[in-house]
């Protein structure tokens, strides 16, 4: 049985200072909660989202079939993160396009839609905004913060920015920073968007157009990096879309994989905001907690107090297991309590969103082991 | 000392039938030769080129510094493929944009520039055209056919299409077909070009514009797949382009890797033809000799008579060693004479063009071992 989710909104008038030096005021954060906060207010689990996800983490919307949250296989009553026990919070990040204040909203300073003027936000800024949401909810300390991919970076950043507010951090399919290749893929996607004539320097809203061509290309590139070579070969291989005869065409769809990618690109360009795509990929590029310590991740993680679970997937070539092991090693050098699971899964980076009994089992065991945070 | 190269042109009036069912007539092939054809006419080596290379394989053009051919480290006097001993031929493929007939030339049937109407050409069609060039040069049998990447596919196809015309085949950093992921990257690049408003359905020449945005994106994607993650991290890592302060911008260059990719994209869009890009990536997609044998590569290679050298590079994730091993295995199952070298090189797919003493040494030894073909 699914729980019914209801989005809520926190409005903040006080300016939030950002790492860029700018600040944002009069902003809203859209969030959802599942389960009950206990009397001790110590059973809260914050879920951080990745590129194109949102605050809608679990459950369904009333009267809307197939509206499951993006991590509904992980979070809910009796699930690995059990909402019968934990009070789970999903929050949409600033700059996103699913409810919280973003580039498509009005800038209170000018009265105009932000567009490209929306300030650049970082993982650290998102964590600061999430901490304010916890303040508003009366939660001083989280039982756990959890996320996959870019969400895992936020979970990791929480343990450095607010060490005394996090008991556990669950960091899935993530990395301590982007590699040059990761940045390269982001940059190609951004160039596709920015050079789309319908982008208009990021102020396309005024022109009543959407840079859909660029968004489609960005999404197609993204999709390739989310899947493993193996799973692509298994799902699509060299299958032709229609029958067995080649069409000998450079522009028509010939192979199944082409049809799949075009479909993914089309869908994405219908709902995702182009400026949000730029902002979120940039937040990924910038995340690098070791930077302030001359590249020394061990020193960067010295301030942490949490216990950790890290999970990686063998076929994830976007954030391969070696990147998670860097974090594990740096935490162990700080004598932190770390569990690490490397899941042999065929699905590539996307595995963190999928049903895999060993993966879900590891997370379940980890949350089951919590001594604190019983309702 | 470099040799001086001089492009030559073969004009063919007779139509060349193509795998698509179409044919092309009144076409030209641009080629270069290095060294001397011996009296027995049995010391010829044909070099097949990959995506953005050409007939200009070795040597320099008279009076033009820095005009070395793309495989000048491999081919020349005293080099691994020794032009003091072998008569080496480089030929630009049909549909390319470096001299041979391509989409930017006039269609004799209509008097109009071909554009998107240039027929789709396959690896097999290119081999047929190359065979006609050998006929014109009076060469019945090649000492060797050699190529890297897409050029390696042509070399492999030669041994199946014209088994009695090839003594040796050297297939470097290649594959028996593209994986789904390979096709996916090609498709994204093509979509970037085709959806560029300046593409005009492939007839942009008439409009006096060039779909440079699409070409830039295509080249950036290509470049990522040519390099290894390791070499990208070593060359660029997370280095900032300017100084040590972040600019906090989504559209400006922040990291060195972004600057490098943009530069590569800009350069490429200045000289490469958009229709050619579509044609050549499609030829890559279509190549699959096992297809006519229900996917059985061993049966596909049963017709071959040549001896083989295959070379792969450990960090090549575009055409990884496992793909070369598939070919080696299928040849061995046919009891063919095969040498195979897996070179431990950090450079990814690009390694086949670079100076690597072990790689060049393997090719040198292979050519030195030829009993036939002494000048």
Pairing of strands A4-5, A60-61: parallel
Location of structure tokens 């480089």? B90
**Best CA proximity match to A308, nearest among A174, A128, A122:** A174
* DSSP 8-state assignment for residue B300: H
Which residues make Cβ contacts (< 8 Å) with residue B32, sequence separation at least 6? Answer: B5, B6, B7, B8, B55, B56, B57, B58, B59, B69, B89, B90
Pairing of strands A23-24, A16-17: antiparallel
* CA distance linking residue A261 with residue A254, whole number of Å: 12
* CA distance linking residue B349 with residue B353, whole number of Å: 9
* CA distance linking residue B205 with residue B216, whole number of Å: 18
Contact indicator for B283, B123 with CB cutoff of 8 Å: yes
**Best CA proximity match to B258, nearest among A290, A178, A62, A315:** A178
For chain A, the farthest-separated pair of C-alpha atoms sits apart, in whole angstroms, at 68
Reported confidence tier of residue A40, pLDDT bands at 50, 70, 90: very high
Residue A92: alpha-carbon gap to chain centroid: 10
pLDDT > 90: percent of chain A: 96
Location of structure tokens 């071959």? B304
What does residue B44 show for φ and ψ, rounded to 5 degrees? -85, 140
Reported confidence tier of residue B244, pLDDT bands at 50, 70, 90: confident
Contact indicator for A217, A192 with CB cutoff of 8 Å: yes
* DSSP 8-state assignment for residue B6: -
What does the block give as tokens for B309?
């050298």
Contact B251 A194 (CB under 8 A): yes
Distance from CA of B71 to the nearest CA of A (A): 27
**Best CA proximity match to A117, nearest among A132, A107, A130:** A107
Distance from CA of B6 to the nearest CA of A (A): 33
Question: How would you classify residue B166: left for phi > 0, otherwise alpha for psi between -120 and 50, otherwise beta?
Answer: beta
First-residue to last-residue Cα distance in chain A: 20
Location of structure tokens 């050619």? B276
Mutate to test the interface with B, among A250, A276, A287 (most CBs of B within 10 A): A250
Rg (CA), chain A: 21
Rg (CA), chain B: 21
* Strand-pair partners of A47: A90, A146
pTM above threshold 0.95: yes
Closest-approach residue (CA) in chain B for A239: B180
Contact B255 A183 (CB under 8 A): yes
Instruction: Give the burial class of A208: count Cβ atoms within 10 A of its Cβ; 0-12 exposed, 13-18 middle, 19 or more buried.
Output: exposed
Residue B303: alpha-carbon gap to chain centroid: 24
pLDDT tens per residue across span B7-59? 999 999 999 999 999 999 999 999 999 999 999 999 999 999 999 899 999 99
Mean pLDDT (chain A, rounded)? 96
Location of structure tokens 């990208």? B232
pLDDT tens per residue across span B49-83? 999 899 999 999 999 989 999 999 999 999 999 99
Q: What number is the average pLDDT over the span B82-103?
A: 97
Q: If contacts are CB pairs under 8 Å, which of residues 25-54 in chain A contact chain B?
A: none
pLDDT tens per residue across span B128-150? 999 999 999 999 999 999 999 99
Contact B217 A116 (CB under 8 A): no
User: Is A62 in the active site?
Assistant: no
**Best CA proximity match to B122, nearest among B265, B291, B7, B272:** B291
* CA distance linking residue A202 with residue B249, whole number of Å: 12
List the single residue in B188, B217, B285 with the smallest CB-CB distance to A255. Answer: B285
Contact A251 B288 (CB under 8 A): no
pLDDT tens per residue across span A214-249? 999 999 999 999 999 999 999 999 999 987 789 999
**Best CA proximity match to B131, nearest among B139, B119, B123, B120:** B139
List the single residue in B178, B194, B250 with the smallest CB-CB distance to A282. Answer: B250
pLDDT > 70: percent of chain A: 99
pLDDT tens per residue across span B347-371? 999 999 999 999 999 999 999 999 7
* CA distance linking residue B154 with residue B336, whole number of Å: 18
H or E, element range at B285: helix B274-286
Cβ neighbours, 10 Å, residue A237: 15
**Best CA proximity match to A149, nearest among A359, A341, A349, A302:** A349
Contact indicator for B136, B46 with CB cutoff of 8 Å: no
Distance from CA of B134 to the nearest CA of A (A): 27
pLDDT tens per residue across span A349-360? 999 999 999 999
Location of structure tokens 């049809």? A259
Which positions of B are catalytic?
149, 316, 349
Closest-approach residue (CA) in chain B for A19: B248
SS3 for A17? Answer: strand
- A61 in reach of chain B (CB within 8 A): no
List the single residue in A190, A195, A282 with the smallest CB-CB distance to B213. Answer: A195
* CA distance linking residue B223 with residue B210, whole number of Å: 21
* DSSP 8-state assignment for residue B113: B
Reported confidence tier of residue A283, pLDDT bands at 50, 70, 90: very high
* CA distance linking residue B288 with residue B295, whole number of Å: 8
In this predicted structure, what is the pLDDT of residue B374? Answer: 53
Contact A220 B183 (CB under 8 A): no
In this predicted structure, what is the pLDDT of residue A244? Answer: 75
Closest-approach residue (CA) in chain A for B197: A197
* CA distance linking residue B19 with residue B119, whole number of Å: 10
pLDDT tens per residue across span A188-220? 999 999 999 999 999 999 999 999 999 999 999
| Burial per residue of A330-354, b for 16 or more beta-carbon CB atoms within 10 angstroms, e otherwise | bbeebebebbbbbbebbbbbbbbbe
Tell me the residue length of chain A.
375
CA B284, B194, A219 angle in degrees (round to 5)? 85
Residue B375 in this model has a pLDDT that exceeds 60: no
Which residues make Cβ contacts (< 8 Å) with residue B40, sequence separation at least 6? Answer: none
In this predicted structure, what is the pLDDT of residue A219? Answer: 98
Mean pLDDT (chain B, rounded)? 96
Q: How many CA atoms lie within 13 A of A139 on its CB side?
A: 30
Dihedral sign for Cα atoms in the order A247, A248, A250, A254: positive
Q: Which residues of A touch B250 (CB under 8 A)?
A: 116, 120, 190, 275, 278-279, 281-282
**Best CA proximity match to A279, nearest among B255, B213, B192, B251:** B251
- B273 in reach of chain A (CB within 8 A): no
In this predicted structure, what is the pLDDT of residue B211? Answer: 98
Tell me the residue length of chain B.
375
Location of structure tokens 């050998």? B134
In this predicted structure, what is the pLDDT of residue B372? Answer: 59
Contact A258 B21 (CB under 8 A): no
Dihedral sign for Cα atoms in the order B353, B354, B355, B358: negative
Distance from CA of A20 to the nearest CA of B (A): 6
Contact A238 B180 (CB under 8 A): yes
* CA distance linking residue A17 with residue A121, whole number of Å: 10
* CA distance linking residue B140 with residue B166, whole number of Å: 9
* CA distance linking residue B288 with residue B175, whole number of Å: 9
SS3 for A31? Answer: strand
List the single residue in A21, A258, A279 with the smallest CB-CB distance to B183. Answer: A258
Q: What number is the average pLDDT over the span A149-163?
A: 98
Residue B1 in this model has a pLDDT that exceeds 70: no
**Best CA proximity match to A20, nearest among A124, A109, A102, A104:** A124
CA A150, A155, A161 angle in degrees (round to 5)? 120
Reported confidence tier of residue A372, pLDDT bands at 50, 70, 90: low
Residue A375 in this model has a pLDDT that exceeds 60: no
pLDDT tens per residue across span B300-310? 999 999 999 99
In this predicted structure, what is the pLDDT of residue B242? Answer: 80
Please give the C-alpha separations between residue B190 and each of A241, A350, B38, B84, B215, in angstroms, as whole numbers: 17, 25, 44, 42, 9
List the single residue in B197, B261, B317 with the smallest CB-CB distance to A188. Answer: B261
List the single residue in A187, A248, A261 with the smallest CB-CB distance to B20. Answer: A248
Contact B184 A220 (CB under 8 A): yes
In this predicted structure, what is the pLDDT of residue A245? Answer: 86
E strand residue ranges, chain A: 4-5, 8-12, 16-17, 23-24, 27-34, 44-48, 60-61, 75-76, 81-82, 87-91, 142-148, 166-172, 307-313, 338-343
In this predicted structure, what is the pLDDT of residue A342? Answer: 98
Q: Which residues of B touch A177 (CB under 8 A)?
A: 238
Residue B245 in this model has a pLDDT that exceeds 90: no
- B265 in reach of chain A (CB within 8 A): yes
Q: What number is the average pLDDT over the span A297-319?
A: 98
* CA distance linking residue B357 with residue B354, whole number of Å: 10
């Amino acid at each position: 049985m699914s729980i019914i989710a209801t989005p809520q909104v926190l409005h903040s008038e006080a300016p939030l200072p950002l790492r860029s030096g700018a600040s944002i005021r009069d902003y809203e954060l859209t969030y959802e909660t599942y389960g009950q906060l206990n009397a001790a207010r110590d059973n809260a689990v914050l879920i951080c989202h990745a590129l194109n996800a949102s605050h809608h983490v679990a459950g369904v919307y009333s009267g809307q079939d197939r509206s499951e949250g993006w991590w509904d296989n992980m979070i809910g009553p009796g699930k690995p993160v059990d909402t019968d026990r934990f009070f789970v919070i999903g929050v949409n990040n600033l700059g996103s396009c699913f409810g919280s204040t973003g580039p498509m909203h009005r800038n209170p300073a000018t009265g105009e839609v932000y567009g490209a003027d929306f300030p650049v936000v970082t993982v650290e800024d998102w964590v600061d905004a999430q901490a304010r949401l916890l303040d508003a909810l009366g939660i001083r300390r989280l039982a756990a913060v959890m996320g996959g991919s870019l969400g895992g970076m936020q979970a990791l950043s929480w343990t450095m920015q607010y060490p005394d507010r996090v008991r556990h951090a669950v960091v899935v399919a993530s990395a301590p920073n982007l590699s040059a290749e990761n940045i390269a893929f982001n940059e190609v996607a951004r160039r596709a968007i920015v050079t789309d004539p319908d982008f208009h320097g990021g102020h396309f809203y005024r022109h009543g157009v959407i840079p859909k061509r660029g968004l489609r290309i960005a999404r197609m590139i993204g999709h390739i990096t989310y899947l493993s070579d193996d799973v692509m070969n298994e799902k699509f291989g060299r299958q032709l879309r229609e029958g067995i005869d080649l069409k000998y065409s450079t522009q028509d769809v010939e192979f199944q994989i082409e049809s799949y990618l075009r479909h993914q690109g089309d869908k994405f360009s219908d709902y995702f905001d182009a400026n949000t795509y730029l902002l979120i990929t940039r937040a990924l590029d910038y995340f690098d907690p070791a930077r302030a310590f001359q590249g020394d991740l061990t020193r960067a993680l010295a301030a942490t107090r949490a216990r950790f679970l890290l999970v990686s997937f063998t076929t994830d070539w976007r954030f391969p297991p070696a990147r998670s092991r860097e974090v594990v090693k740096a935490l162990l050098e700080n004598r932190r309590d770390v569990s690490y699971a490397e899941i042999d899964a065929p699905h590539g980076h996307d595995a963190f969103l999928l049903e895999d009994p060993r993966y879900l089992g590891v997370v379940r065991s980890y949350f089951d082991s919590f001594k604190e945070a019983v309702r």
